Amino acid sequence: MSPERDPILLSNAKDRLAVALDVPDARVALDLVDRLEDTCRWLKVGMELYYAAGNALLAELRARGYSIFLDLKLHDIPNTVAGGVRSVMGAGAGLLTVHAGGGGAMLRAAADVANQPTAPRLLAVTVLTSMDAAELHATGVSGSPAEQVLRLARLAWTSGIKGMVCSAEEVGALRKELGPEAFLVVPGIRPAGSAKDDQRRIATPQDAIAAGASMLVVGRPITKASDPGQAAREILAQIAQAIPNPALLN
């Protein structure tokens, strides 16, 4: 029997942090997970790691008690994307990304498949946080990143997808537009004083949560730290400060 997806909880800071395992193989990933010292609940597995380690790694992470955010950014014709969603059902991922830019038919096909207990909840990726206005314009989009994010979020929402990925610069507008039901995930998180790396539209953990983010994705500020567990605890404390009446960290 396929495992059912984990519930989405926002009761405390630990529920609101996904640590990005942007590493090349299962050995490195599991070593990093050990060094996180059970500070997080959600682990984000992207294309690099998933293509290298597959569902066996996801099963190992779930056996250790973690929830899986599978960041594959599916973007293809509707039938192919629907098949991709169907193929990962048995892996037990709680979240799965698709590109909102794939269009309404693709998004609806994905949403139709994901409408069952064993399917992951879908997140529509709007505009990558590594893109600024100049890079967006180079793709043929004349509007600002904020305008494009809102346009794509509306498309995903009307296509049946209630979760979005956007930068902290747009999350407040999306929260106002879509209301409390929307599950808004914000990558590009950098604690004050951290290097931007290849991210353009960034924010601190406190600012992103205060603006309306449901969950934050943090990679290098945690995974490249000399003590990943301590780095995660510091970010959790910053998240907790921005949550109204936050629960105790656990």
**Of 131 and 149, more confident:** 149
Q: Which of 73, 162, 176, 224 is catalytic?
A: 73
- pTM for the structure as a whole: 0.92
30 domain residue, yes or no: yes
- Position 167 pLDDT exceeds 60: yes
- Note whether residue 91 is domain-resident: yes
CATH number of the domain that residue 210 is part of: 3.20.20.70
Q: Domain range for residue 132?
A: 13-242
DSSP for 2-58, please give it. PPPPPP---SSGGGGEEEE---SSHHHHHHHHHHHTT--SEEEEEHHHHHHHHHHHH
Determine the pLDDT at residue 5: 75
**Over residues 223-236, mean pLDDT:** 96
Indicate whether 1 belongs to any domain: no
Is 80 exceeded by the pLDDT of residue 105?
Answer: yes
Q: Supply the pLDDT for residue 249.
A: 40
Q: Is residue 40 part of a domain?
A: yes
2: in domain: no
Cβ atoms < 10 Å from Cβ of 237: 14
Percentage of the residues of the chain whose pLDDT score is greater than 90 = 81
Q: Return the higher-pLDDT residue of 143 and 123.
A: 123
- Cα separation, 98 vs 124, in Å, equals 5
Q: Is residue 220 part of a domain?
A: yes
Local confidence band at 200 (pLDDT 50, 70, 90 cut-offs): low
Told to judge if 196 belongs to the known catalytic residues of this protein, a careful annotator would answer no
Does the residue 5 lie in any domain?
no
The overall average pLDDT reported for the chain is 91
Number of domains the chain contains:
1
Q: 4 in a domain, yes or no?
A: no
- What pLDDT is attached to residue 146? 94
* Separation CA 230–CA 39 (nearest Å): 9
Lowest mean pLDDT among 1-5, 100-104, 198-202, 225-229: 198-202
